[in-house]
């Protein structure tokens, strides 16, 4: 397949790189991979011509609790299949399902159930890629539990860590943990040794405790600013250490409700190249207002474009955010388009070691998203096969 486009944002290097924007440009795909990405006019007649908008790498979302009425922690194969089939309509071509805090036995059972059904879900082409599971809990702070049920929060023990490792062998790729808990540093070392990315989150840690977690191998902070100790001038907390420590990258929810636009802009100025966009989408995403589930407990999505769902007490509980909307929001507050696209593509892919995703570059997977001038998804391709949008050839 040969695609010619008016503008291509490759996200294959820094936003200032010469190849960050190809205008015009073309991409050649063979056997699901990109074999050429160049500026100028294609050497032969293209199969697809995109005369407006932008051709981007497919979005990579590291935190999806659910979508389209489906909560992934409890979903059956049909639910998983429906979500993975429909997610490309938002521009997302690869995602990390997220299971929030529940009793360890239930989390282990959810991991085993997911491991059993995923082969059938992922065997079908044109579905968003499943990148492994993100366990957001149960090793988090009761002081910063957010929408998580505090009754199910525990400190990590060797037994509980091994239970989850065994149940999620080869499937668990990311774990969010509060480093101030008893046993947390040993747990971080064990998880990292098992090849799992460790992220600091739902934490009341001091900056020094976060730095210690980084020394033990943590490389990430989950949804920066939300459910964590804030930046203060004498105690930087999780937020301050996340922004200052070059060993750490952070995810951030840019629906402009979880974090104000001015604060998002400050974060991107403070930590360029170390912030990635996530949706933190719950089952209500893509659905009408009403009651849904997160972590097996009710949340309510009210009227209002982009308004997050809440628990009964008003606590924010995930989001209803699309990744293309997150990119558009980021651009609207003044972040450059190439930088915003990288935050939704290459940077999250790199965080989990998937350098074959999130970029338009030779050898990368042919996962592509075509967006309009206002950054709304028009079409997507996964492995070079069109997964969403009008038939373009």
Query: Residue 171, class by beta-carbon neighbours within 10 Å (0-12 exposed, 13-18 middle, 19+ buried)?
Result: middle
What is the token pair recorded at 4? 């010619």
The residue behind tokens 């074999």 is 35
CB 173 within 8 A of CB 194: no
Q: What angle do CA 85, 371, 11 make, to 5 degrees?
A: 95
State the Cα–Cα distance between residues 183 and 235, nearest whole angstrom. 23
Spatial CB neighbours of 13, under 8 Å, sequence gap ≥ 6: 19, 20
State the Cα–Cα distance between residues 202 and 280, nearest whole angstrom. 14
Beta strands in 245-355 (DSSP E): 249-253, 275-278, 290-294, 297-301
Active site residue ranges: 280
Which is nearest to 378 in space by CA: 5, 123, 97? 5
Which helix (H) or strand (E) element contains residue 188?
Answer: helix 184-193
State the Cα–Cα distance between residues 266 and 255, nearest whole angstrom. 16
220 DSSP 8-state letter: E
Alpha carbons within 13 angstroms on the beta-carbon side of residue 133 total: 25
DSSP-assigned states of every residue in 39-105:
ESS-SS--SEEE-SSEEEEPEEEEEESEETTEEGGG--HHHHHHHHHHGGGGTEEEEEEEEE---HH
What is the token pair recorded at 262? 């001015």
State the Cα–Cα distance between residues 311 and 328, nearest whole angstrom. 27
């Amino acid at each position: 397949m040969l695609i010619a486009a008016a503008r291509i944002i490759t996200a294959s290097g820094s936003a200032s790189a010469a190849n960050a924007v190809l205008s015009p440009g073309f991409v050649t795909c063979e056997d699901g991979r990109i074999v050429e990405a160049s500026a100028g006019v294609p050497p032969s007649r293209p199969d697809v011509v995109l005369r407006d908008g932008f051709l981007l790498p497919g979005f990579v979302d590291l935190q999806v609790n659910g979508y389209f009425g489906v909560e992934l922690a409890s979903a059956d194969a049909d639910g998983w299949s429906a979500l993975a089939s429909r997610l490309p309509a938002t521009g997302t071509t690869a995602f990390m399902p997220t299971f929030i805090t529940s009793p360890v036995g239930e989390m282990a059972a959810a991991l085993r159930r997911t491991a059993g059904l995923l082969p059938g879900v992922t065997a079908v082409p044109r579905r968003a890629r499943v990148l492994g599971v993100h366990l957001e809990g149960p090793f988090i702070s009761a002081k910063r539990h957010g929408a998580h049920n505090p009754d199910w929060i525990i400190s990590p023990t060797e037994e509980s860590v091994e239970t989850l490792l065994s149940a999620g062998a080869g499937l668990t790729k990311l774990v969010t943990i509060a480093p101030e808990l008893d046993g947390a540093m040993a747990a971080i070392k064990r998880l990292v040794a098992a090849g799992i990315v460790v992220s600091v989150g739902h934490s009341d840690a001091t900056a020094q405790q976060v730095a210690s977690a980084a020394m033990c191998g943590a490389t990430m902070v989950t949804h920066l600013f939300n459910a964590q100790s804030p930046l203060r001038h004498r105690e930087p907390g999780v937020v301050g250490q996340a922004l200052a420590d070059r060993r750490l990258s952070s995810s951030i929810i840019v629906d402009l409700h979880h974090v104000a636009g001015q604060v998002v802009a400050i974060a991107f100025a403070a930590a360029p190249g170390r912030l990635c966009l996530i949706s933190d989408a719950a089952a209500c995403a893509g659905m009408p207002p009403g009651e849904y589930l997160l972590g097996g407990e009710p949340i309510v999505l009210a009227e209002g474009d982009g308004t997050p769902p809440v628990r009964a007490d008003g606590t924010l509980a995930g989001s209803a955010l699309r990744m293309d909307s997150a990119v558009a929001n980021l651009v609207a507050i003044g972040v450059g388009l190439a930088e915003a696209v990288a935050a939704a593509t290459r940077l999250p892919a790199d965080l989990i070691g998937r350098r074959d995703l999130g970029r338009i570059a030779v050898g990368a997977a042919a996962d592509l998203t075509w967006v309009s001038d206002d950054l709304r998804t028009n079409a997507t391709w996964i492995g070079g096969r069109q997964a969403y949008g009008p038939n373009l050839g």
